[in-house]
Structure formats: C-alpha cells, structure tokens
Chains A and B, each alone.
Chain A
Amino acid sequence: MIRFENINKTYPGIQPLHVLKGIDMNIDQGEFVSIMGASGSGKSTMLNILGILDDYDTGNYYLNGTLIKDLTEKRAAEYRNKMIGFIFQSFNLINFKNALENVALPLYYQGLSRKKRQIKSMEYLDMMGLKDWWHHFPNELSGGQKQRIAIARALIANPKVILADEPTGALDSVTTEEVMQVLSEVNATGITMIIVTHEKSVADKTNRIIHLKDGIIEFDSPNNHEIPGI
C-alpha cells in the first residue's frame, strides 16, 4: 500500500537541514500505524511526503502501487482528493462554512453536483452521530464534534489512507478516547490509518508503532512492546 524506499529530504538554506535520512518503510492495506518521535525528528516532514503535500529529494515513494514522484500540482491534488484523507490537530475546518458544507468540500473538488454532495455529506455526518448539527458553524461546536466532522470530511471521498496529524492533540482525555474509538472503527472498515502523535496512550491504541529519531527509523515494532526511552 505505502512503500518508502530510501527517502531523503533536505530543507535547503544557509545551513541545509537533512531531515529524512534514508527512510525505508512498508505499510500494508488496512494497517493501523502510529508514527512517534520528538519534535524535529522528521515526523511532520514524513507526513507531508505521505500526503503529497511536500516533495522528497531522493528515493521512491509508492502509494497504492503508483510512484509518487515529480507530480504536477494538478495530479498531486487529484491523488490527495481520491486517495488520502487528512485529519489535523487543529481540525482545520473552514470557519465560514457550516458542518455540512465542510464535510462536502472534497466532493466539491471532485465536481459532484450540489444535491449529491449534500446527500452524501449528510450520510457521513449521520455516521459520526452529528446529523442534527449539520447547520452549525465550527465555532458553535465542541472540540470532539469538530474532530468528528473533520473525520467525516476525511472519509467522504473514500480514501485508501487516512493521515492524522496529532488528531487528539487539542482534545481532553475523554474526547481523545472517543475520537480514537472512531478512528479504530474507521480502520476496521479496511482503510489504512496512519497517526502521527507523541502521546503514548494514543500510540498504544494502534497496532504498529514507528519511532523516528533524527531522520531515521529508530524502532518499527508491532504494538505491546515496551519502547525504551520514552
């Protein structure tokens, strides 16, 4: 499903920053993976490359068998739209659009008609238990609700992979529990789930933990193993 072959990434500058130093990684369809690491370890860069939001310098990245390399912006947008769902720490909902419109946005970029968009969005809101909240704007919703709307938005285009960047970072422990529950339910439907986090409790909910340190994979282990040093 996802294959990294010796991925290297350097941010240019007066002192070039070598962030990813030859990452090799394989993630299969339906896996529930967390990527951990201290800040500066390269996990955000890795997520950006995974989400085709950023380029890499050398190596190969295959997504669903396709080599993701030197894509035009348009192709990249298409892949993001069809293959990848994003969930962010700060939800990243659009403030002047209500819940329904936010969920429907990926479908807008797929060119679906307004009517179809609304029906499908309502379906996904219902799935997240937020059907009655469809007309509310993000600032009228709680953190958990916002994140569930974001999840609905990530799911609506039927992606192969969901990339979650600290999805529980802005949530309290009860809501965190709730959101993780939703995410593992989503994973159970066969969607590959990759969560970037530095919370051990969150990582513990996943089935595989990849630990990054200074641009290389320090540990890559199935869960239930104690990870030293954390």
Chain B
Amino acid sequence: MRFLEFDTLTEILLTMRENKLRTFLTGFAVAWGIFMLIILLGSGNGLKNGVTANFNDRASNTMMLWGGRTTMPYKGLKAYRRIKLTNELIPYLKNHFTEIDKISGQVDRSSTISFGTENGIYQIYGVQPDYQIISNMTFATGNGRFLNDRDMEMDRKVIVLSKKVAKSLFKDVNPVGKWIKMDGLTFQVIGVDMKTSNNNEAKCYIPMKTAQKLYTLGNQVHNINISVRGLSTKEENDAFGQKMREALGRELIIHPEDLNTIGLWNQASNYVQTMGIFSTIDLFVMFIGICTLIAGIVGVGNIMVITVKERTREFGIRKALGATPGSILTSILLESIVITSLFGYLGMMFGIGILELINMVINSSQKAAADGERTISIFMNPTVDLNNRCNCHHHTDPCRPDCRIHTGPKGCTNQTDRGHARRITKTHQYVRSR
C-alpha cells in the first residue's frame, strides 16, 4: 500500500514538526495516561501479591480447631469444663466430612535442641504427615523429606527442622541424617524445610505420637489442622466450620449454644474474603484503567478534530491537486497512530522503569534483611510486593529459594509459584493426585 510508504511518513513527520506544541501536548496526554495505568496496575498487583504472600506459610484452604473452656453446664456436666481434643477425633472428623482433604493433629511445646556445641530453644510441633501439605512445605533434593506414615507407626525419633533452626545449629553443614539432642533424647534429622516466611521461623516437626509420649500428653492434641476442598465462597467455608463445631460439640458433650468453646481459625474463610476484596480492587483498577483510556481516546479525538479543522484549507488544496479522500484520511489517522504509539510506548517504558526501580530498591533491602537473619517485617509491606510479581516471573529472588524448587519430596513435580492464587489450585491437584 502506497500510503504506508516512506513518503507518507515523511509527510506526517513534516506536519508534526509544523505543530510541535500540539504534537507534544497530545503525546504527553497519551504518555501520562499509559504511565498512570501502568503504575496503577502495578500497584494493584503488588498489593495483591503482598497480601497473598502472607497466607503462604499455610495453604490457603486450611482451618484449625482447638479446645477451650465451656461456659454453660450441659447434660450434667459443669460449666467451665476444659475441653481437650483427642487423637480419636481426627479419624472421626475425616470420616464425617468429605470436605476435609488433609487432616493432622498437632501438639506443641518448646524444647532445647543441641547439636555439638550449638543449642537453642525452639518450638517443637508434633504433627502427622498431612501437615506438610497443610502448611505448604516442599523439600528440594538434598533437603530430605517430611514425616511419613512409617515414622508415625513406629514412633520414630525423627525431626524436621525449619531453615532458621538448621542454620543456627548446623551453620553450613547439611543437617539431613545428623543426630541432635532434645530433652535428653536423640533425634535424627530427616529433612529441612527451606521455606522462609514469618510464622515458621524457628519450628521443628516430630511425629505426633512421639511428641505425645515425650511430653506425656496421653492422647490429647492441642490443635487439629485441616485443609478443605470444594468450598469456594466465604459463606460455604463459614457454614462448614460451624458444621464441624456442631459435630465436635456432640462428640464432646458441649451445649449447642456454647460452641465457641471450640476454637476455630478459618483461614479458608479469611482467604476467600481477602481474595474477594482483591477482586473488587481488581475491578476498581480495571474501571479506572478503562476510564483513563476513555479520557485518552476523547483527548486524542478532540485534538484530531482541531487538527482537521485547522487543516481544512490544506486538505482542500491537496484535493484540488488530486489527493483522494482515502489518502487524506490515512494521513490523519496515521499521524494520530504514530503519536499515540510513540508516546504511549514512552509512557509505558517510563511506568515500567519506575516499577522496576521500586522493585530493585525493595529487592536490595530484602537481601540485606535475609543475610543478617534479622526480622523480615518488610516482607509484610504491600509496596514491597510489587516485587513478588516480578520474582515469580523471573525466579531470581535470592531470599526465596523455594521459588526455584521443582521436585517434591517423593519425586513428584510440584512447581511452586508463591504469591499466586494459581498455587492453590496446584496444591489441590497435587493433593488429589495422591
């Protein structure tokens, strides 16, 4: 097509040069619009990723139950009775509710662990194998494995360390296979959970029954952790939580109006709700984005009207000299396309540049925090997590090695992509495939 050739472009550049100010103002409007759009979308995503990341130390579809004290007498039992959850409730719940996907009891206490000359006091969790999925743990090759059913059956004295514990006790030595001492007993380290997030800083995991024996708890469990499936709304999650409470209430003889005795932390519900907020924010961002685009279209349209009006005479001359209407239309359209794409691209580059700059600053502060093993509260900052968006795409964040883990403990491929809702479905698939 002749009108797309070099000559047409020269014509357009000439007219643009003729109207420098107008060209600049149009271009600036377009560039600014696109710039704001990029910043807006980036911030929205950053915020979302930041908040999503906070759910990461547990799978997002989990709930936790624990016992409290009753406030009402019921069926001859006194008020203010202490409710204890027991081992038997775990299969009971699992068998009663198809919504329950994974379930693990939990007992916890802090103990002193020592290896060689190093020692420290850490939180010890007695849990069951399902706990791995519930708390989102993966093990890279060389990091060992999580507790399994054989460990449970045989009451083995084995322990899984978190990254922080491993680092402070073992320094640069690989702890897997080594023996540590805890409360006078020897435990073998079978795995290291490399995950870094706020809540699993200094935790160690041992088989639940081993812990119950060690701490003389009998068949008592402190918490029951479960992950649910097939519940997509907050209402469904809340209703399911209540159903579980009712079932436990019957089992533990608690007054039906006193079910708050059973503590319930419904992460699934929180997660669904938070995601709901973010889909609203997404919608809002999209709305503003569309408004910005409409404003841009109107602006460019207006300027085109002025251009045409100003150049009517010139177009008349051109028509008298043999210009077809198509050629004139093409030149006007091409001019606006050239201006919009050129300046739009500039605006986009500038927006991306700013986001990348923020990302860089945050990355370096994260690195400093991770190196010094200091508290990493900055992870919680939503602005930080503009960063997450990029991390998960590039897999280069040094403080999140788990971003690069591809092989699960049992040889199954479980690509993790933290900070994304995508992950949740991945977990689901993984869980189901077992």
Contact = CB atoms under 8 A, between A and B. Distances in A.
Partners in one complex: yes
Interface of A: 51, 53, 73-74, 77-78, 80-82, 86, 92-94, 96-97, 105-106, 108-111, 114, 153, 157
B256 interface: no
Question: Sorted from nearest, which 9 A-B pairs have the closest CB atoms?
Answer: A81-B322, A109-B322, A77-B324, A96-B18, A73-B325, A86-B320, A92-B317, A106-B321, A74-B324
B319 A53 contact: yes
B298 interface: no
A111 B2 contact: yes
B327 interface: yes
B321 A51 contact: no
A106 B2 contact: no
Nearest to B18: A96
A77 B319 contact: yes
B214 interface: no
Given A94-B314, A96-B14, A97-B14, A157 B322 contact: yes
Given A80-B319, A114-B6, 6 more contacts: A53-B320, A73-B324, A105-B321, A109-B318, A109-B327, A153-B321
Best-buried of B7, B18, B324, B326 by chain A (most CB within 10 Å): B324
Interface residues of B, number: 21
B123 interface: no
B188 interface: no
A114 B8 CA distance: 11
Nearest to B19: A96
Given A108-B7, A109-B327, A111-B2, A51 B320 contact: yes
B323 interface: yes
Contact of A106 (B7, B17, B18, B322): B322
B75 to A, nearest CB: 94
Contacts of B325: 73-74, 77
Q: Is the interface of A mostly helix, strand, loop or mixed?
A: helix
Contacts of A93: 317
Given A94-B314, A96-B14, A97-B14, A110 B2 contact: no
B322 A80 contact: yes
Interface of B: 2, 6-7, 14-15, 17-18, 313-314, 316-327
Contacts of B318: 94, 105, 109
B326 A86 contact: no
B325 to A, nearest CB: 5
B323 A109 contact: yes
Give the dominant DSSP class at B's interface: helix
A51 B14 CA distance: 28
Contact of B322 (A78, A96, A97): A78
Contacts of B316: 92
A114 B327 CA distance: 17
Nearest to A108: B7
Given A96-B18, A111-B2, A74 B326 contact: yes
B7 A96 contact: no
A77 B323 contact: yes
23 contacts: A51-B320, A73-B325, A77-B319, A77-B324, A78-B322, A80-B322, A82-B322, A86-B321, A92-B313, A92-B316, A92-B317, A92-B320, A94-B314, A94-B317, A96-B17, A105-B318, A105-B321, A109-B318, A109-B321, A109-B322, A110-B322, A114-B6, A153-B321
B322 A77 contact: yes
A93 B314 CA distance: 8
Nearest to A159: B322
A86 B6 CA distance: 27
A109 B324 CA distance: 8
**Residue of A74, A82, A94, A153 ringed by the most chain B CB atoms within 10 A:** A94
A111 B323 CA distance: 11
Contacts of B15: 96
Contacts of A77: 319, 322-325
A97 B314 CA distance: 11
A100 to B, nearest CB: 13
Contacts of B322: 77-78, 80-82, 106, 109-110, 157
Contacts of A53: 319-320
Contacts of B17: 96
A26 B318 CA distance: 28
Contacts of A109: 318, 321-324, 327
A3 B379 CA distance: 87
B8 to A, nearest CB: 9
Interface-central residue, A51, A80, A82, A110, by most chain B CB under 10 Å: A80
A86 B322 CA distance: 10
Contacts of B317: 92-94
Nearest to A157: B322
Contacts of A94: 314, 317-318
A110 B316 CA distance: 17
A96 B314 CA distance: 10
Which of B2, B14, B319, B327 has the most chain A CB within a 10 Å cutoff? B319
Of B14, B18, B322, B323, most A-chain CB atoms within 10 Å: B322
A77 to B, nearest CB: 4
A114 B7 contact: yes
Nearest to B321: A106
